[in-house]
Every structure is written in C-alpha cells, then in structure tokens.
Structure 1
Amino acid sequence: MTNEQTVEKPKPLKRGMLDNVLEQFNSAADKIDLNPNVRKILSITNTEIIIHFPVRMDNGEVEVFTGYRVQHNNALGPYKGGLRYHPTVDIDAARALAMWMTWKTSLAGLPYGGAKGGIQIDPSIYSKGELERITRRFTYALGENIGPEHDIPAPDVNTNDQTMAWIADTYMSTKSTSERSKNQHVVTGKPVGSGGLEGRDRATGYGVYLTIKFWSEKNNETLKGKKFIVQGFGNVGYWAAHFLENEGALLVGVQDAFGSVQNQKGITVEDLFNYGKANNGSIVGFPEASAMEGKDFFALDCDICIPAALGNQITKDNARSIKASLIAEGANGPTDVEGEKILIERGITIIPDIMCNSGGVIGSYFEWLQNRNGELWQMDEILEKLEKKLRTTFKKVTAYSEENNIDMRTAAFSIAIARIEKAYILRGIFP
C-alpha cells in the first residue's frame, strides 16, 4: 500500500496593472533602443508616499484610512495625475497609474511628469460630511508633497470637482494670506466658480470621442449608424456617448458597477443619464433596455467598444468574444497584455489609453495655465484647443505606427519615452 499525496499545482497569479505597464514600457523601450541608464530610471518611481490617517465619523467613532501618492517621474515638469477613491487603490495600482501618466503627459507634449494616488475606500458608504473630513485630513497629511509647481492632483474614479475644491481650500489654508492666491492651481478639475475650467468636466470623454472620430475619418468612414457600447457610465463614459450620439452613432449597451443593459435598437444617452441620476447612479432597471449577464457584455454586437471603468477589464478570458472592430480606451489600462495580443491577432484596432483619454490632462493643463496667468477661457476656445492638440497627437502616433509597422500602443509609448530620454540626455544626471 502506497501513501501517495497529490500535490496541487499552484494557480498562476493574475497579472496586475503594474505588470502590464512594465511590459508595455519594456516592449517600446526595446523598439527605440532606449538608453540603458534612462531605462533604469524610468523603470521605477521617484517617490512613494503611504499615509495612515485618522478621521472622526458622524457617529463619533474614529476610523483610520490609508492614502497613497506615487510620483513616477518629473523630467519634463511637475508631477500630474488624479486621485481616486476606491477599494482597489493600493501601492501597485498607484505605481502603474503614475507610470501611465508619465507617458500620457509626454505624448501630449505637456510640461508635466506623472503621478497618481488616492484613498483605499468605498466612498458610497460615507456621508458627504465624512468624505469632506477624509479629503481634508488626507490633503493636510500630504503637506508639501503636493504643490502647484511640484505635484498637481486632479479628479479620477469616485472623485470630482467638489473633492478638488476641498483639497484646494485645505492646501491654501496652510499658506500665509499673501501666498494663498498663488496656490489655487495646486489641483485641477475644480468647480468653475472656484477657479475651474469651463468644459473640464467633459474634456476626457470629448477626447475619447475625438480620437474615434479621427480614426473614422482616416479610414474614410462615418460615425453615423455605428453601434457602440460603453463600460462605465460615469463622467468619461457619459460624455463620450453624448458626443458620439450627436454624430449619429447608436449606443446599444452599457455596463456600470451595478449591472449591464442592452438594446440593439438604441439607448438614448440623456434618458439613461437622467435615469441613473434618479437611481443613485445605477442603470439597473432602465425601462428602454433589457438586463444582461455582465460576463457577456463585451460580446455584444457592436462596431465600437469603449472601456471607461477600471483597469484589466479586457483579458484573455473575454478578448476572443469581442465583436467590435475598434476599442477606444477611456479608462487607464483597461486591456491587459494577454488580451491585447489576442485582439491584435484578430485585427481589432485599439486606440491606447495614453492617447485616447488624454483630453482630461490636456484640459487640466489649460486650467493650470488659466489660474497661473489670471485668465478666463471660454468653452468654445477650450474645445477648439483640445481638438487641435489631440489631432496633432493622433496624426503623430498613426504615422509612427504605420512607418514602423507596429501597433498604436507601442507607437504611442515609443514617442512618449523618446521625449523623456531626450530630456535626460540633454540635461545629464546629477551630479
């Protein structure tokens, strides 16, 4: 009689966003033969801040929260990137998102580096008063790690103009009276009445729409009658859908954190948005569409797919079922490396996140300039400037992609990394 024991093979670890961004970086670095010393610098972050801070809740009890701010690189200018409030926020997610911001700001030709952060929290379970205290306490704890010429946060997942107003007010309150007015641009994405930019709310979604439009024009196609689906119906997803619908495209499926709905005859964007506002942000039960299984969402029959929620949504598990011929990445890192390889093999075009959703950081740059120079810009002027900048980037990326016979993401990364490499080579490394 033998006494054998079956040893179960360990399951492979799921790839994280940091794994994806590093593989994307190294792939592009190989293509451009990146200077090995610059590669060492860009492979890691400059500064990582983890803060545990106490806040008193409405019931009098104290909770301790964990906040993060990762500053990846500032070779081209001050760190720039959003703050998100979500249970998935951790140090690796912040590292990955900060790196993506470095490439995004570089590709857009902005005088910024990349940073990201946030608080590991589910904001839906806290009152507005509690969220204000959490935000102000986090801002105070960050102290001089942020600043209008050093690191400039902006809204991200589950944060908005109100959040930015609290941060700006708290930060300015730590300055002398004479210095306060000079620090208004410590954050962007503020309310228009508090130094914010007209149109900043729609800048990211407008940019997603524009890159889709540019792609259609390049291929001598029209958006009229094209079917599209959107994952995530927050600020980015809503505005992208709004502008696409205005062009005659048809929204046929939407997925949010609560559920998924579809209607091949079309869903009216404004009706769905108003329904969500009246139902605590949920699209579930929308009468003009039928509910569907979330796992089948990306398999919906459509021409365009816009993942505008969280990272790692399109993977090897669902990439083969996607029917769209174009994927426009409204979120940061929505497609993992394995999923992308399958999509490229299938001939599906991906407009990469660092170009597709860069309208937000370009809008943030305009707001930063407006505050810095004491100016006021009008909506038409802002959207015109945004379109001009995005069109320039789109032409540059598609031309590089075609000339070098590489996918658009590798082309975008190559252009972005080469700009930073040039800055290091010209400046040298201290000392």
Structure 2
Amino acid sequence: MSKNQNQTGVYSFFNCIEKNFDKAARFISIEKGLLEQIKACNAVYRMHFPVKIGKEIKVIEAYRVQHSHHKLPCKGGIRYSIKVNQDEVMTLAALMTYKCAIVDVPFGGAKGGIKVDPQTISAENIEKITRRYTSELINKNFIGPGIDVPAPDYGSGEREMSWIFDTFLSLRSGDVDALACVTGKPVSQGGVRGRKEATGLGVFYGIRELCHVKEDMYSVGLDVGLVGKKIIIQGLGNVGYHAATFFHEAGAIIIALAEREGAIYNEKGLNVSQVFLHLKNTGSILNFPEAKNIENTEKALELECDILIPAALENVIHKNNASRIKAKIVGEAANGPITPEADEILEKKGVIIVPDIYLNAGGVTVSYFEWLKNLSHVRYGRMEKKFSENMNAELLQVIETVCKKRISTEEKKIILRGAREIDLVRSGLEDTMINGFHKIRDIKKSSKIENMRTAAFVLAINKIIDSYEKLGIFP
C-alpha cells in the first residue's frame, strides 16, 4: 500500500496535492530546497477555547493555517465540520496558494477550520463559537485586511462572515479598512454582488473556453461549442446548482444530476430550476417527473456523456471505476474528485481533465473583488455607471440622426444601460478564467506536458518563484 493511501486503499486528497506538486517540479529548474520552501506551511495556529453551550462548557478545537507569505494578505475560507483536522486545513491552505497564483489573485494561501457539526448546534451557539474563534485570531494577529482575510467554506456562509466582521470591528474600532478583514459578507455589510454563484460560474467559464478550442475538441471527437453537449453533474449544492444553471442557459443538455441519495436521468435533458424546486419541496432529487431514478450515485458517473462535472466529494473517480467513465471531458468543480491512479487511467483513455486547482478558483477571484471594493470604499459601477449611460445616449442620438431611423424603446433600454456591479464582477471573473485557461494551455504545449493538471501546477509554482525572487528571498 502506498504511503499516500489510507487503510482502505483510497487516496487522501491531501496527499494528492503533494504528489501533483512533485510531478510539476520535474519541469522546473530550481534548487530542491527552494521547492520545499514553497511546499511548506509558513504558520499553523492550533487553538482550543471554551464556549458555554447550554449548561455545559465545551472545549472547541480550531485551526488557522497560513501556507504562504509570498503575497499578503493570506486568503482562505473557514470550514465548519466535525471532520476538521490539522492535515486537512494545511493542505487546503496549500491549494489556495496555488489557485491564487494561477488566476493572478495577489494573495498567499490560507485556510481555517472549526471542529463542530453546524447541523447539530443552534445558531446562537454557532455565533458564540464564531466570535470566540475570531477573537483568538485577532489576539495572535492571524486576521486583518493586510494580514489574513477569511471567507466562507464548507458549513459556513454570509451569516458567519458577518459575525467575524462585527467581532473584528468591535476589537479594532477605528480601523478604516475593517470591512476588508473578511469576504463573503452580505451585500448590506460590504459584500459584493455575484459572490454566491462565483465558483459555479467560474466552472462554466472554464469549460466553455475549453469547448471553444478546435484542437482540443477534435482530439476527443467533439464539435466546437457548448450547445448540444451532454453533461452530467454530481452534486447540487451551491457550486453544482449554479454551474448546471449556466450550462443549461448556454444550450448544453443536462442529462443527469446526482446527489448522495441517488441520481436522476433523462437523455433529452433536465430542467435544472425545476429539479431544484423539486429538491426543496421533497428533500430529494429522486422521483422527479419524466426522469429515471438511479439508486447508486456512482453509476450515474459512468453514463454516456460529453462532459462530467464532479461538484461534491473527494475521490469519487478512483481506480475501480475510472475505466468505466465514458465522458470525453471531466471538469473538477469539487476539490480532489479524481485519485492519482484514476488520473492515469483517464489520461491513457484520452480524457481531458480540467483540474480543480484552476476550475474552481472563481470563488477566490470574486472574493478578491470584494476585498478591493472594501479597501476602495466605493461600490463597483458607482463612479462610471451614469457617465456610461449618458455617453450611450449621445451615441444613440447620433445613430438615429445619421440613419434617420428611430430605435424601439426596448432596444434603447438595452443600449443605454450602464454596467451594474454584478455585470462588472462577472466580466472580471470571465476574463480571469479565460486568461488562466490559456496560460495553462500555453505551458502545457511549450513544456510538452501531457495534462492540464501538471501544467497548472507548473504555472502556479513559477508564479510563486517569481514573487519570491522579486522579494529577494531566494538567492
């Protein structure tokens, strides 16, 4: 059994990051010791603190890890889960470092974790734990707009980020940039429009860009473009739902959706919004009208399709089922859904794998936009929206005069509208994902690397090396 495997023989996602890093390191000419510095976590803060829950005092275990200081502040979410442990948080922090480097977001990677089950604890007690955790971070200088900026992750959301901001502000009163101490906040507290769907939209932009490349599409026997592509998505949480919605709107056919309790299938396509409504009403996606139930979720991954999007769990594609995967493209919307052994099997089959280290970076990209908004103290679009509308109105008047034709009221509304905050955020995310894709692809071709994952790690490592060299840290 490999040292990267647990007793059941299943690869740990956390060991996979190191394995992929080492693969990429073979394409980089730099001293081994410097590569080890890039891999190492710079700071690990493990804490235990008491919180009164009901009539009892519970000792809460929690973490904050800062993987890299090559850029500041550090950036990464806070995971609320009973499965949280130090190795998990350290590796997720490393993943954040590489993600940020790939998409040119100037943060070092970080991650936090609180070992609780948010499903079994009241909102009042979650608030107590969150505020106490924040105060511990403040006391150790592990949070701040220029130091370390948390965000939501598994088990947390806008509510928890709002409590973090409020606690930080109460203990750092007078800090003019306090809003930028955390991202993923409600819009009313300095959050940015478009954050909720950012990861799913980033997945859509990344896959769409791949589908526009003739050479890549022809290599797997597919036509260019998304229209008509048959897609299977595993996981209908925040990421999977929004990705499915954007693919559906773009003309792709969502033939199957899979959740923990099973999957549903319709070769002619599923209406994502109706499936989601059915899920809310019944608590399950199963028994959706005009769809076939598939009891074993894993079997849904093996259906005939063009694109498979695992958007839920780690290690769902492994050595035992990889040979049965029929998709031409696999887009990793989740963290670590493919084990290294499965990676090799799919690669031999000619499957294009779009790696998680790039594809699900939409969330941190839009978190960066929120951080910038908080530092500038100006909502996106406030300065230029009216100016753009006035300029468009003048241009429209000239066109009507020259062409001697009146434009309809509905057409005028479309032409005259200035960019809103959500338009600018989505535009920035789209540009980021497109640029990231082509940088990875260029490295893959120029360095004769066989897959996108290794090329993505090479891109990330080179960017980190460049930052260290500019800081004068490397000799």
Q: TM-score, normalised by structure 2?
A: 0.83
135-144 vs 286-295, greater mean Cα deviation: 286-295
Q: Deviations over 1:83-126 (max 9, x none)?
A: 12223321111121111111110111121110112223332222
Q: Deviations over 1:174-203 (max 9, x none)?
A: 112x22x42111111111111000101111
Query: Does the 8 A contact of 2:34 with 2:474 survive in 1?
Result: no
Q: Matches of 1:279 and 1:88 in 2, distance apart? A: 28
Corresponding residue of 1:22: 18
* Number of equivalenced pairs: 418
Measured at CA, do residues 288 and 174 of structure 1 come closer, stay the same or move farther in structure 2, by a change above 3 Å?
farther
Code of the aligned partner of 1:64? V
Matching of residue 348 in structure 1 with residue 351 in structure 2: yes
Q: Matches of 1:187 and 1:325 in 2, distance apart? A: 39
Corresponding residue of 1:160: 157
Aligned residue among 211, 215, 220 for 2:210: 215
Deviation at 1:36, TM superposition (A): 2.2
Q: Which secondary structure does the structure 2 equivalent of 1:117 belong to? A: strand
Query: Does the 8 A contact of 1:34 with 1:418 survive in 2?
Result: no
Deviation at 1:206, TM superposition (A): 0.6
Q: Which secondary structure does the structure 2 equivalent of 1:331 belong to? A: coil
Query: Does the 8 A contact of 1:46 with 1:73 survive in 2?
Result: yes
Aligned residue among 367, 370, 374 for 2:373: 370
Matching of residue 108 in structure 1 with residue 98 in structure 2: no
Corresponding residue of 1:337: 340
Q: Matches of 2:29 and 2:19 in 1, distance apart? A: 15
Corresponding residue of 2:461: 417
Matching of residue 404 in structure 1 with residue 404 in structure 2: no
Q: Which secondary structure does the structure 2 equivalent of 1:15 belong to? A: coil
Q: Matches of 2:30 and 2:281 in 1, distance apart? A: 52
Corresponding residue of 1:229: 232
Code of the aligned partner of 2:155? N
Deviation at 1:364, TM superposition (A): 0.6
Q: Matches of 2:76 and 2:260 in 1, distance apart? A: 23
Q: Matches of 1:356 and 1:363 in 2, distance apart? A: 14
Q: Deviations over 1:292-348 (max 9, x none)?
A: 212313212221111111322222122112111111111122222111111111111
Q: Which secondary structure does the structure 2 equivalent of 1:52 belong to? A: strand
Code of the aligned partner of 1:246? E
Aligned residue among 367, 380, 384 for 2:423: 380
Measured at CA, do residues 99 and 185 of structure 1 come closer, stay the same or move farther in structure 2, by a change above 3 Å?
same
Q: Which has the larger radius of gyration?
A: 2
Matching of residue 269 in structure 1 with residue 283 in structure 2: no
Code of the aligned partner of 2:124? G
Q: Deviations over 1:37-65 (max 9, x none)?
A: 321211211111222233333x4333333
Measured at CA, do residues 11 and 31 of structure 1 come closer, stay the same or move farther in structure 2, by a change above 3 Å?
same
Q: Deviations over 1:67-98 (max 9, x none)?
A: 22211102022111111222332111112111
Measured at CA, do residues 356 and 113 of structure 1 come closer, stay the same or move farther in structure 2, by a change above 3 Å?
same
Gaps of 5+ in 1: 1-9
Q: Matches of 1:277 and 1:56 in 2, distance apart? A: 34
Q: Matches of 1:428 and 1:131 in 2, distance apart? A: 43
Query: Does the 8 A contact of 2:65 with 2:111 survive in 1?
Result: yes
Q: Matches of 1:404 and 1:261 in 2, distance apart? A: 42
Q: Deviations over 1:347-401 (max 9, x none)?
A: 1111111211111111011100000001112111111111112111111111211
Corresponding residue of 2:193: 198
Measured at CA, do residues 279 and 374 of structure 1 come closer, stay the same or move farther in structure 2, by a change above 3 Å?
farther
Aligned residue among 37, 44, 61 for 1:41: 37
Aligned residue among 170, 175, 178 for 1:173: 170
Q: Matches of 2:125 and 2:304 in 1, distance apart? A: 43
253-262 vs 107-116, greater mean Cα deviation: 253-262
Matching of residue 240 in structure 1 with residue 243 in structure 2: yes
Corresponding residue of 1:6: none
270-279 vs 23-32, greater mean Cα deviation: 270-279
Matching of residue 283 in structure 1 with residue 301 in structure 2: no
Measured at CA, do residues 132 and 272 of structure 1 come closer, stay the same or move farther in structure 2, by a change above 3 Å?
farther
Query: Does the 8 A contact of 1:227 with 1:302 survive in 2?
Result: yes
Query: Does the 8 A contact of 1:229 with 1:251 survive in 2?
Result: yes
Measured at CA, do residues 250 and 423 of structure 1 come closer, stay the same or move farther in structure 2, by a change above 3 Å?
same
Q: Which secondary structure does the structure 2 equivalent of 1:323 belong to? A: coil
Q: Percent identity?
A: 40
Q: Which secondary structure does the structure 1 equivalent of 2:196 belong to? A: helix
Query: Does the 8 A contact of 1:35 with 1:421 survive in 2?
Result: no
Q: Deviations over 1:262-298 (max 9, x none)?
A: 3333221111222333455x43444453242123132
Measured at CA, do residues 48 and 348 of structure 1 come closer, stay the same or move farther in structure 2, by a change above 3 Å?
same
Q: Matches of 1:351 and 1:90 in 2, distance apart? A: 28
Code of the aligned partner of 2:354? I
Q: Matches of 2:423 and 2:366 in 1, distance apart? A: 13
Q: Matches of 1:299 and 1:47 in 2, distance apart? A: 42
Q: TM-score, normalised by structure 1?
A: 0.92
Q: Which secondary structure does the structure 2 equivalent of 1:63 belong to? A: strand
Q: Which secondary structure does the structure 2 equivalent of 1:100 belong to? A: helix
Corresponding residue of 1:395: 438
Corresponding residue of 1:86: 81
Q: Which secondary structure does the structure 2 equivalent of 1:125 belong to? A: coil
Q: Matches of 1:287 and 1:111 in 2, distance apart? A: 47
Query: Does the 8 A contact of 1:260 with 1:293 survive in 2?
Result: yes
Query: Does the 8 A contact of 1:230 with 1:253 survive in 2?
Result: yes
Gaps of 5+ in 2: 1-5, 215-222, 381-420
Code of the aligned partner of 1:126? I
Q: Which secondary structure does the structure 1 equivalent of 2:60 belong to? A: strand
Code of the aligned partner of 2:32? P
Query: Does the 8 A contact of 1:100 with 1:332 survive in 2?
Result: no
Measured at CA, do residues 341 and 420 of structure 1 come closer, stay the same or move farther in structure 2, by a change above 3 Å?
same
Q: Which secondary structure does the structure 2 equivalent of 1:66 belong to? A: strand
Query: Does the 8 A contact of 2:298 with 2:316 survive in 1?
Result: no
Q: Matches of 2:243 and 2:105 in 1, distance apart? A: 23
